[in-house]
Structures are given as structure tokens and as C-alpha cells.
Amino acid sequence: MKQAEQILELLQDTSFPQMVLLDGAWGSGKTHFVNHHLKAKVEEQFGQKTYFFSLYGIASIDDFRDRIISLTMTEKEGSSEFFKSLHKVVDGIATNSGERGVGAVLSGAAGAYKYKLYSELDDCVLILDDLERVADEKLIKNILGESLNLAESKNIKVIVVANEDKLYCKSDIEKVFADKYKFSFTHEEVVSVLKKEYECLNDALANELMLNITSLNSTNIRVLKRAISKFTRIQQEILKVDGVDFDLAISRALGSILRICCARFEHFFSKEQIADSINTRFIRALDDEEEKASEGKYEMLDEIFSDDYFSNSEKLLNYCCDGLYEFTDLKAELDLPLKRSLQDCMTSLWTQNKLSDSEFSEGVSLLESFILSEANVDIYKWYRACDMYIYMLDNKVIESTKYTKKSLFELCHSVDVNIFEIASETDCYDISESSFLNYEVYKLYNYKESELESLKKDDENSKLAKSLLSSWDNVQNHIVQNMMHKPIFQNISAQTLKSSLCSWSNEEVFNFARFIKKRYGFSNIEDYFKPELEALRILSIMVDELRNEMKVGRKVASLARISQCLIDARSRMKQNIMMKEKSASGH
């Protein structure tokens, strides 16, 4: 690695004590670099034994010296006559004290032995890690002074590994070190390190990792290791889910987990801040004033979560931030992409570019045939097909004799909305501008979709009217469960309801009267039923007329209750509306 070569060059300069500061941020991979690259290169270059240890936990300068003695003694114990005889003495002490090994030298053999061991230290390289984790600033200065003394008086080279930003004795650092090397891995080197450590990172995922960390400008190996460890379990669970496009699902999961971990553990945003940023992003984008007010507060988080394919899942956020694996249905909770038909593959640039030439050619034909469809067509899929076809023409992906960009725009504008299916409530898509490649197609889709929504309402009203005519019992559960607080009577003619009341049994009319009383039996009914205001007047007149026509019977009593409820509801609604209007005008 080029980093190792550059540090070796610094150590070769003998005009100053051979001390180098290897400076790098937390998580940048300094320790990995030392263990896997630098130590071997140093020993090869200088032919000197290298001793590497962490300064974390060192409490005094004596601790520092003892740590060095312990390392050097371990190396020499088997070959030096001095150490062999010393070892016998130590064993004798240990037999009486209950201690054995190197620890007895440091705690029982005491000063003379330690002094001799330390004074004989020579012709080696010391690599001292985690200097910033020494708690006492005075001790840091003492360690630097002791290291400088060794480098000046012996054939000893010293490399200190630290995050200089976390050290406050700047003047001492300037005095002690002849050179400083600012360490960092490139994105390519980070991916290489992680790929060797994690089996789950095949070539395809390593490429995805590279794209993501480049986008995030992250080289923090510790954070990335945390993210990949989280990803490994999710990957295993996704592979168990049937009907999923595994390549796309796993790629999206990796990107989402990397972004959450980067925000939480590299930039130290709280889980709540991350959730707030994600959940308000589109609202803020629509509100210029809100966007200006929040400028700066969300800037970095918006940049981190700018990926269109980020999985906004509360459970994924909890899993990455808190380690809580609460998933019960990954397919729904992560909105995993499903395996697609060839036609569906054609409307996604991701999957389209994975097709063979023959599959792509067949896919173009399928799109052309689909655009020509005349009945039972999903409106979103149809406009997405036109959108993709226009993209392919614009970008010279295809040459077509069937359509031009102009003819497709004209078709998108003039298409008869009756060819489209009226979707049920559960068939709704979450459609935004980002769902389309061409903004003009998106606007035309919205226009036609609103037309289709009007047809849907007309169709629902027609079905409701037919159901009312047949029986109140058949429609009661649907209305109570789905329309209890929705205005509906403005869309049902008085004649339809009159015919229904005439055909219903006494019990049905009685139950309908109970429904009307419950429906309007609360105070702020104007917030829900204002569109029905005029309809209630017309219906109450119709019910009174019907009651007079029938003259007598059990239905007549129920009709009287219905009429009174309608009149009372309309009166209260008018009064509440007037009071709100007066309050708004300041009177």
C-alpha cells in the first residue's frame, strides 16, 4: 500500500529522532492498516523487530515501561541465557506466591530486573496505538517524552498512532514528531478490506457498497462493519421470502442500512432526528417557507437519505439504531420489490438493463401492445409504459416506426379514461413525481387519474343506489363500517331513497331510522357532513310527503323519526356553520 511506503520514507530520515505520528480519524482503519500492512513492511525494510501495543489502560509511565518489557521479554525468553536463568528465579518466586510466568517478573522480580530489561531495549520499532485514549494529558506528555528519549538515545524508531483532533497537547506534538502522516483509506481500499472480512460481499454487493460509500463519502471502517453485520442478517432473511427480486431487494437493503448507520454512528444524529428528517422531507420540499426555516437543520440528513430507493421503515430504523429485530413480514415492512413479468421489467431502468437483447426486443413489443390496449387497463402501468417508451426514444435506446414522442404525448392527453380499470381502495399506489422519468407524462397521468376518480365515485354511488333499492339489510354493514362519517346523501336522489323506503320491510325502515339518529348524534357534524346540507332538506321533505301518503302503519312511525332526525341535523349544522363564520370574521 502507498501509505506504508510513505511512512517508511519518513522513518528513513535520520536527521531527526525517528518518530512519526500516524494521524487518522476514529474508524478510519489505522489499527487494521498497522496489523495487516505496516508491521510487515517495517520489519522487511529495517530488519528490526516491531512491537505493537495499545496505550489504552496505561495509568502511569511505569505502566508504559512494563508493557514494553513484557513484550520484549516474551520474544527473548527462549533464546537468552539471561532470560533462562531469570525465568528460574521468577518460577521460584511464583511457587511461593502462587503466580507464574511473565507477570511474576513485573510484579515480583522488581526494580533491578526491570531496569536491566528496559535499559537493554534497542534496535527495534515501537508502534504505540490509541494515544488519545490515555485519560491524563500529563501522562500523554510523559509517554511522548519517554518515546523521544528512546528514539534519540537508541536505535529505536517510534510510530505513534492517534487521532490528533482528540489530543490537546498540540505544542508537545509539534516538538516531539519530526513528521506527521495523515492516514486515510480510499473508498476502493475500504471496500477491499471489508470484502476480505465478510463472505456476504460478493462482487455485485461490493460494487453496491462502493457506490453507496462514495455517495456518502464515508470511509469509517468501524461504522461500515457495524452496518454490514446488520445487513448480513437481513440478507439471510430476505433470501427466505418467496416471490422477491432478490438482487434488487438485497441491494436496496444494503443501501438503506448503510445510510442509517452512517447517520447514527458516524455523524451521531439521534434516531429521532433521523426519523423526523425522513418523515418531513417531502412536506418540507413542498413548503418553501418551511424549507427556508429548517435550512441547515436537515441539510446533512437530507443528503444522506437522498437515495430514491431508501427503505423508510420504522422497524429497520429500530434494528439499525437499537439492535431490535422486530420484523414479522419483511416483504411488507421493507416494501421488497417482487419478481416482475417481462413487461414490468421494461418499465424499470434497473431491471431493463439486466435483460438479454432478445428479452429486451420482446419487451419493447409488449410495451407497444400494452399501449394499444382498449379495456381493463391499470392507469398507472399504462402511463408508466408511455413514460418509458418516451425515455427510450429520447435517449436513442430504440428506433420506432410505431410511435413518436409527439404521438405518445397526444395519446397520453386524449386517451379515453373509460379504458382504465376503476381501482379498489386496496389497489392505490403511492405515486409521486419521482415515479416517472418525464414530468409532462406525470402531469397528464394526474389529470386523467382525477377523471378516473370521478368515475369511481359515480360508479360507487350507482352501486350504492342499486343496493339501497334491493335491501337495507344487504347494504347496512358496508355503510356503517365504511361510510358512517362520510357524506353520501348528496349523491343519492330523493326518488331513489323514496323507492327504497317503500320496498323495505318494517324492520329495515326501523333500523334505518336508528342509523340516521346515530349518524348525526354528535356536535360537530358540519366537519363531516357539510356537503349534505341541501340534500338533508330535500330528503326531509320527501320523507314527510311519503309519511302523508302512507297515512298509518309501523313504517309511518319510523319515517317520522327519520324526518325529525334529518331536520334536527340540518338545523344544528347550519347553526354551527354560522357561528364559525362569525368567529372567523371577528364578530
Q: State residue 244 phi and psi, 5-degree precision.
A: -105, 145
d(CA 229, CA 167): 31
Task: Give the integer Cα–Cα distance in Å for 268 and 26.
Answer: 13
Euclidean distance between the first and the last CA atom of the chain, given in angstroms as a whole number = 80
Angle at 336 between CA 332 and CA 339, to 5 degrees: 120
> What phi-psi label fits residue 29: left (phi over 0), alpha (psi between -120 and 50 degrees) or beta?
left
Closest CA to 55 of 175, 167, 215: 167
Provide CB contacts within 8 A for 270, sequence distance 6+: 264
| pLDDT computed for residue 32 by the predictor | 92
At residue 471, the pLDDT reads 86
- Contact of 496 with 535, CB cutoff 8 Å: no
Across 57-133, where does the E strand assignment appear?
124-129
The DSSP string of 125-152 is EEEEE-GGG-S-HHHHHHHHHHHHHHHH
- Cell numbers that stand for 188 in this block: 476502493
Q: Are 316 and 350 in contact (CB under 8 A)?
A: no
**Helical segments of 294-348, H only:** 299-304, 314-322, 330-333, 342-346
The answer to whether the pTM exceeds 0.85 is no
**Strand ranges in 428-585 using DSSP code E only, listed in sequence order:** none
Cβ atoms of 382 and 341 within 8 Å: the answer is no
Distance CA 67, CA 102 (A): 11
Cell readout for 502 is: 317503500
CB-based contacts of 321, cutoff 8 Å, min separation 6: 260, 264, 271, 274
Query: Cell numbers 409532462 correspond to what residue?
Result: 440
Residue 21 parent element (H or E): strand 19-23
> Collapsing DSSP states into helix, strand and coil, what is residue 543?
helix
Lookup result for grid cell 348525526:
520
What is the Cα–Cα distance from 424 to 258, expressed in whole angstroms? Answer: 37
User: Is there a contact between 270 and 312 (Cβ–Cβ < 8 Å)?
Assistant: no
Cα–Cα distance for residue pair 125/44, rounded to 1 Å: 12
Question: Is 195 within 8 Å of 206 (Cβ atoms)?
Answer: yes
Secondary structure letter of residue 340 according to DSSP: -
3-state SS, residue 502: helix
Dihedral, CA of residue 231, residue 232, residue 235 and residue 240, to nearest 10: -140
Instruction: Note down pLDDT in tens along the chain; length 587 residues.
Output: 688 999 999 888 888 888 999 999 999 999 999 999 999 999 999 999 999 999 999 999 999 998 888 887 766 544 444 445 444 444 444 444 444 445 544 455 456 677 787 888 899 999 999 999 998 889 999 999 999 999 999 999 999 999 998 888 888 888 888 788 999 899 999 999 999 999 999 999 999 999 999 999 999 999 999 999 999 999 999 999 998 989 889 999 999 999 999 999 999 999 999 999 888 876 776 555 555 555 677 889 989 988 767 888 899 999 999 999 999 999 989 989 888 889 989 998 888 998 999 999 999 999 999 999 988 889 999 999 999 999 999 999 999 888 999 999 999 999 988 888 865 443 445 577 778 999 999 999 988 888 887 766 665 666 777 778 888 888 888 888 888 888 888 888 888 889 889 999 999 999 999 999 988 988 889 989 999 999 999 999 999 999 999 999 999 999 999 999 999 999 999 999 998 888 877 65
* Helix/strand number for the chain, H first, E second: 30, 5
Buried b (16+ CB within 10 A) or exposed e, 456-474: beeeebeebbebbeeebee
Q: Which three cell numbers stand for residue 195?
A: 470484502
Q: What are phi and psi of 377, to 5 degrees?
A: -110, 135
pLDDT the model gives residue 455: 67
Distance from C-alpha of 237 to C-alpha of 103, rounded to nearest angstrom: 48
- Find cell 470511509 and name the residue: 219
Residue 130's identity, in one-letter code, is: D
| Of 520, 503, 499, the residue nearest 562 (C-alpha) | 520
